[in-house]
């Protein structure tokens, strides 16, 4: 089978390409350029990643192609990211990048080259059954990336391979070392793909200038000043710069609410569970991997955020989206975050959080 691998210049996609080749596939490499950073920007590793991808393609004898999706990324992913933050929400651009770039623009480019399918270095699995294609968790619980892939549907999964889905990261590194791949010791990338390892607030301020505003406690008492409410998210404690507050205990302060229109942050001290925890979450319209919901009402597990154990819940569909009731309170579900549904290792799909019954979440308790 002729497969195009998305060769990023990291160890994961390098080993994925190697495994496909060892399985007897005709493999070609496509390196995606998704972000136009400044050449002098020390946080932008685009050129270094391209060189590493070229080196691995050379070691494996792969035809190497470069495709520039930066305009698509700006239009479909980054613009949405900025709009959501401007509204005071907490988006996850990696989820939208997968749908719009890696499994749409990249898939279309691969098919145009004559490939029959695509592959990436994601830690997830695809399983074909009588009811179509399923998206499964990767077997390494510390690396499973199905959360970020929940917007994929049958068209994408039918043409996608995840060679690393059945491996642990330690095994991937060991194989890269044995084969002497150029990326064998390369550090994993962290953070949002277009930001890299830099100050998030400083990056965001280049595109969304904000004004200082008041920090108040849950009784409305002014405690200090923040640089811009849109830069903070629910549950955050870093960056508040609240020292000793007269009449308050010495514990940490957490963001428990924010009003972008009045540019106000609301904070509470201690564990703040009373203000942050929620059992009931509302979402917008869901995207289902199978193309349809399991039922109008069903039990499942769900993740409010990545690297969180899946939590038991009951999901009810209606005209506006999903009503989700958890068995246990969930910490700080924020509007704009992805809520992803599972049944065991099967990813069912997901939706965007709109509100919750946390104290400042917008729903009646």
DSSP state of 148: G
- Check if the beta carbon of residue 267 is closer than 8 Å to that of residue 240: yes
The residue whose two tokens read 């979450």 is 281
- In terms of Cα–Cα distance, which of 155, 97, 145 is closest to 124? 145
Could you tell me where the beta strands, DSSP code E, fall in the chain? 2-6, 26-33, 63-68, 117-119, 124-129, 132-137, 160-161, 213-217, 222-226, 253-259, 264-269, 277-283, 287-288, 297-303, 311-318, 321-331, 338-343, 346-356
Interhelix angle 169-178/11-22, rounded to 10 degrees, is 70
The residue whose two tokens read 């989700």 is 324
Torsion of CA 237, 325, 82, 145, to 10 degrees: 90
Phi, psi of 201 (to 5 degrees): -65, -40
Catalytic residue among 97, 313, 322, 347: 97
Interhelix angle 11-22/46-60, rounded to 10 degrees, is 20
- Kindly list the distances between the CA atom of residue 73 and the CA atoms of 135, 191, 230, 361, in Å, as whole numbers in the listed order: 24, 17, 22, 31
Specify whether 97 is catalytic.
yes
Specify whether 313 is catalytic.
no
Q: How many residues does the chain have?
A: 365
User: Under the phi-then-psi rule, with left for phi > 0, alpha for psi from -120 to 50, and beta for the rest, what region is 344?
Assistant: left
Residues 6+ apart with CB under 8 A from 112: none
- Kindly list the distances between the CA atom of residue 342 and the CA atoms of 121, 290, 347, in Å, as whole numbers in the listed order: 22, 12, 5
Active site residues: 97, 193
């Amino acid at each position: 089978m002729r497969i195009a691998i998305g060769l990023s210049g990291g160890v994961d996609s390098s080993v994925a390409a190697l495994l496909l080749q060892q399985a007897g596939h005709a493999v070609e490499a496509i390196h995606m350029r998704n972000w136009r950073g400044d050449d002098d920007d020390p946080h932008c590793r685009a050129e270094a990643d391209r060189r590493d991808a070229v080196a691995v393609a050379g070691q494996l004898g792969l035809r190497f192609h470069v495709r520039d999706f930066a305009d698509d990324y700006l239009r479909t992913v980054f613009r949405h990211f900025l709009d959501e933050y401007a509204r005071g929400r907490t988006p996850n651009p990696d989820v939208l990048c997968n749908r719009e770039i890696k499994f749409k623009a990249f898939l279309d480019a691969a098919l145009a080259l004559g490939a029959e399918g695509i592959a990436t270095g994601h830690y997830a699995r695809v399983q074909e059954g009588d009811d179509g294609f399923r998206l499964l968790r990767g077997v390494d619980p510390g690396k499973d990336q199905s959360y970020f892939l929940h917007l994929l549907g049958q068209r994408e999964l039918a043409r996608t391979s995840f060679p690393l889905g059945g491996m642990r990261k330690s095994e991937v590194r060991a194989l890269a070392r044995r084969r002497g791949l150029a990326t064998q010791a390369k550090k994993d990338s962290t953070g949002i793909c277009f930001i890299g390892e830099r100050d998030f607030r400083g990056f965001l301020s280049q595109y969304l200038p904000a004004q200082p505003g008041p920090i108040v406690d849950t009784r409305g008492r002014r405690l200090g000043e923040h640089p811009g409410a849109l830069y903070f998210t629910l549950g955050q404690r870093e960056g508040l710069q609240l020292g000793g507050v007269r009449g308050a205990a010495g514990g940490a302060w957490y963001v428990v609410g924010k009003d972008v229109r009045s540019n106000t942050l609301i904070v509470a001290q201690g564990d703040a569970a009373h203000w942050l925890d929620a059992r009931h979450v509302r979402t917008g319209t869901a995207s289902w991997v199978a193309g349809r919901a399991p039922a109008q009402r069903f039990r499942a597990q769900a993740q409010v955020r990545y690297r969180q154990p899946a939590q038991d819940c009951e999901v009810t569909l209606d005209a506006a989206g999903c009503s989700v009731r958890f068995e246990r309170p969930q910490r700080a579900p924020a509007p704009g975050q992805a809520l992803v549904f599972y049944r065991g290792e099967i990813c069912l799909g997901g939706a965007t959080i709109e509100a919750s019954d946390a104290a400042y979440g917008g729903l009646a308790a």
